[in-house]
């Protein structure tokens, strides 16, 4: 099994929660703020809604000069994939009914990514309602699933696993007013046996810990630390 996925699975098997810090290539950030945001990180995600490949590659190279943590592309579109990173989350937006984000973009980019010396990790991506329209919903023209519809979210996650996805990501959207609820996380966790990622709207260490306690293996924080990088050290304690 490839190195990054092996690392994630080993940490999960040992019961070690992982914190991923998301960097958007479109956002300007100082070296000092990058170092602050990296302090509590176990993984580094790189991606944005409309960043170019050159923007993405420049940021990845910059991050590589500052950390040895795995750097993983979390692509907003296929053009953001770069072999400079360690891995790419090869995601399918399972909650959408837009064929372009279910399989279309994958077909368009398959040959180029297949030729890249980069680890690809198939991931089922599920957008849930975080109380505001997210950039993901806007760009993909996809409606999020209401967090009241827990069974639908669970069935979508199970379907992803049956299709061979090796990670499942529950996403409330950048800047969500409400993160993914612990009841949703726990229900999905009870039904799948692949690592579970949760992100969107997590802005306090307590919200992070609640997500871990509910069953998340990886929590992603992006927007909050873009605005308040000085808060990063507070997220270092993942267990209460």
Per-residue pLDDT of 139-160, as tens digits, reads 566 789 999 999 999 999 999 9
- Give dist(CA 44, CA 22) in Å, integer: 6
Give the pLDDT of residue 24.
Answer: 95
Give the pLDDT of residue 218.
Answer: 98
- Note the helical H segments in the chain: 3-13, 31-38, 53-64, 99, 105-115, 135-140, 150-162, 182-189, 205-214, 223-227
Tokens (6 digits) for 197: 């990622």
CA 72 to the chain's CA centroid: 9
Closest CA to 196 of 103, 126, 110, 129: 126
DSSP-derived letter for residue 202 is -
Give the pLDDT of residue 13.
Answer: 95
Which CATH number applies to 3-228: 3.20.20.390, 3.40.50.2020, 3.40.30.10, 3.40.47.10?
A: 3.20.20.390
Give the pLDDT of residue 48.
Answer: 85
> Residues 152-180, buried b or exposed e (16+ Cβ, 10 A)?
ebbebbeebbeeebbbbbbbbbbbbeebb
Mean pLDDT in residue range 126-131: 91
> Is residue 125 scored above 90 in pLDDT?
yes
- pLDDT-based confidence at residue 1 (cuts at 50, 70, 90): very low
pTM over cut 0.85:
yes
Per-residue pLDDT of 51-103, as tens digits, reads 888 999 999 999 999 999 999 999 988 788 899 999 999 999 999 888 888 89
Per-residue pLDDT of 155-199, as tens digits, reads 999 999 999 999 999 999 877 889 999 999 999 999 999 999 999
Give the pLDDT of residue 145.
Answer: 94
The CA-to-CA distance between both ends of the chain, in Å, stands at 32
- Give dist(CA 103, CA 17) in Å, integer: 31
Name beta bridge partners: 213. none
Conformational region of residue 150, where left means phi above 0, alpha means psi within -120 to 50, and beta covers everything else:
alpha
Please give the helix or strand (H or E) that residue 231 lies within, else none.
none
Closest CA to 55 of 24, 34, 77: 24
Give the pLDDT of residue 102.
Answer: 86
What is the average pLDDT value for the chain, to the nearest integer?
Answer: 92
> Is residue 220 scored above 60 in pLDDT?
yes
């Amino acid at each position: 099994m490839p190195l990054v996925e092996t690392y994630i699975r080993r940490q999960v098997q040992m019961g070690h929660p992982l914190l991923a810090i998301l960097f958007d290539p479109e956002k300007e950030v100082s070296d000092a703020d990058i170092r602050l945001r990296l302090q509590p990180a176990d993984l580094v995600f790189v991606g944005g809604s409309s960043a170019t490949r050159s923007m993405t590659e420049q940021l990845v190279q910059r991050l590589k000069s500052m950390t040895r943590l795995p750097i993983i592309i979390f692509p907003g579109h296929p053009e953001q994939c770069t072999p400079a990173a360690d891995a790419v989350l090869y995601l399918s937006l399972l909650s959408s009914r837009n064929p372009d984000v279910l399989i279309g973009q994958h077909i368009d980019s398959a040959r180029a990514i297949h030729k890249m010396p980069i680890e690809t990790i198939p991931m089922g991506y599920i957008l849930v309602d975080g109380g505001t329209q997210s950039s993901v919903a806007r760009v993909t023209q996809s409606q999020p699933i209401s967090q009241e519809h827990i069974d639908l979210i669970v069935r979508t996650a199970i379907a992803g696993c049956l299709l061979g996805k090796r990670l499942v990501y529950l996403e409330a959207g950048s800047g969500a007013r409400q993160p993914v609820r612990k009841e949703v996380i726990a229900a999905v966790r009870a039904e799948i046996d692949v690592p579970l990622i949760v992100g969107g709207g997590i802005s306090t260490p307590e919200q992070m810990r609640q997500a871990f306690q509910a069953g998340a293996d990886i929590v992603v924080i992006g927007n909050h630390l873009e605005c308040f990088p000085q808060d990063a050290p507070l997220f270092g304690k993942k267990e209460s």
